Structure 1
């Protein structure tokens, strides 16, 4: 997969390194010459250009990319990059970084964004997940709010302990994806028993989250 990343700061470089380690091709686009350091991510292709300029993106070959990641520290730039990538170059997948949570409402398909990643929201969710037992926590929004990745940690004395996964009466629009138990990652099967302090990861539409709480006895 070929990925273009707009913004070669600490965030963009870290993403690039991860993607390269996973076998993908990466192009870093950066307009600030002082940030152009090919030795920092040697296997990436580096392009000194303004990612908000259509001609620069054409010259860089954005049309050949499968994914574009707008990872600059400026939300306005990330929105413009996302819109150009989707509307002018028909990039299949556009991921955008949200720096200011107040701007999160803008990062949707009207601006060409497929996935918006809000660092402040994710950090808050991680903190909440670490201290919450028995309550449902949103970890990530998917598909412009059509679904959420949510987590709930079962209380130690949950009435679900010992009951099989198939007994969970989850609503339509919700699916149990993974059970985390201690250091184990379990792909749940219908006959697998649940235990107290299990962490359940589910994908669910926002309108059924209250139904999930009821199904889990909360």
Structure 2
């Protein structure tokens, strides 16, 4: 998938790293020169400029992007960038700091796909918001080991099975299970797997695509691209100052 991230500060750069490690295409927008240099030193493509300007977003590839993460510490920049990105059909993720009043949050939450508090979520949370869908990364335990939460879909091969009948790949373990809208708990072997149920799995990156095919019902190609392509496998003004 292709992402444009506005802001190469702490939140934006960490989010970009997580996405790139999973094989996604990431372009950063930043106008603070030291941050531009730092991101480029890590071999990221960086467009230098104001992320709230349409021409800068176009240069960064918003016309072909799947999602735009406006992760600067400037609410006005973030909101403007999301409105432009929405015009191009992108999924829009907007950073908002916890200092803002609840009324402000509600106002902006209605205009974008998702609002995030990076102070709570961190880079993995920002990445999950950008990706959306039925899979949520919870934690990277080691360089090739990740805890993920997956939601059973109607297309999943295991839909209708019981947990005792579930056979995960050798390098994957089921940690928790929750019925639709229910709380996660220790798995009960007699529980049935139905659309909307959630499973938390610890898996090696090498088998994440198999896990996705099994529990979400993705095709082999989709699962490989989304889960493990990286191994073949969110204050300042303008475009993203300190954050």
TM-score range, shorter-chain basis?
0.5 to 0.7
Distance, in Å, in 2 between the alignment partners of 1:25 and 1:149 is: 33
Per the alignment, residue 94 of structure 2 pairs with 96
Q: CA offsets per residue over residues 160-197 of structure 1, 9 Å max, x none?
A: x967214x9x9xxx93211579xxxx99x9xxxxxxxx
SS at match of 2:196: strand
Q: Check conservation: 2:4, 2:60, Cα contact below 8 A.
A: no
In the comparison of the two structures, how many residue pairs are matched?
A: 149
Supply the distance in 2 between the matched residues of 1:22 and 1:43 (Cα, whole angstroms): 15
Query: Equivalent residue of 1:90, what SS?
Result: coil
The Cα shift of 1:98 comes to 2.2
Show structure 1 runs of 4+ deviating over 6 A. Answer: none
CA contact (8 A) 2:47 2:56 kept: no
Cα 1:107–1:34, aligned 2, differ >3 Å: closer, same or farther? same
Structure 1, unaligned runs of 5 or more: 124-147, 155-160, 190-218
C-alpha distance in structure 1 between counterparts of 2:15 and 2:117, whole Å: 15
Secondary structure in 2 matching 1:175: coil
Residue 113 (structure 2) aligns with = 114
Deviations 1:74-95 (A, max 9, x none): 22221111111102x222x222
CA–CA distance in 2 between the matches of 1:2 and 1:162?
39
TM-score normalised per structure 1: 0.55
Larger strand proportion of the pair: 1
Question: 2:13·2:39 contact (CA, 8 Å) conserved in 1?
Answer: no
Quick check: 1:19 aligned with 2:19?
Answer: yes
Q: Distance in 1 between matches of 2:181 and 2:16?
A: 24
Residue equivalent to 1:177: 198
Q: How do residues 1-218 of structure 1 correspond to structure 2 at under 5 angstroms?
A: 1-38=1-38, 42-87=42-87, 89-91=88-90, 93-100=91-98, 102=102, 103-108=104-109, 110-111=110-111, 113-120=112-119, 122=121, 151-153=183-185, 164-166=190-192, 175-178=196-199
Q: Which runs of 5+ in 2 are unaligned?
A: 123-179, 203-210, 216-243
Structure having greater relative contact order (Cα 8 Å, sep ≥ 6): 2
- TM-aligned CA distance change 1:118 to 1:43, over 3 Å: same
Task: Tell me if the contact between 2:93 and 2:114 (Cα under 8 Å) persists in the aligned partners.
Answer: yes
Whether the 8 Å CA contact 1:82–1:95 is kept in 2: the answer is yes
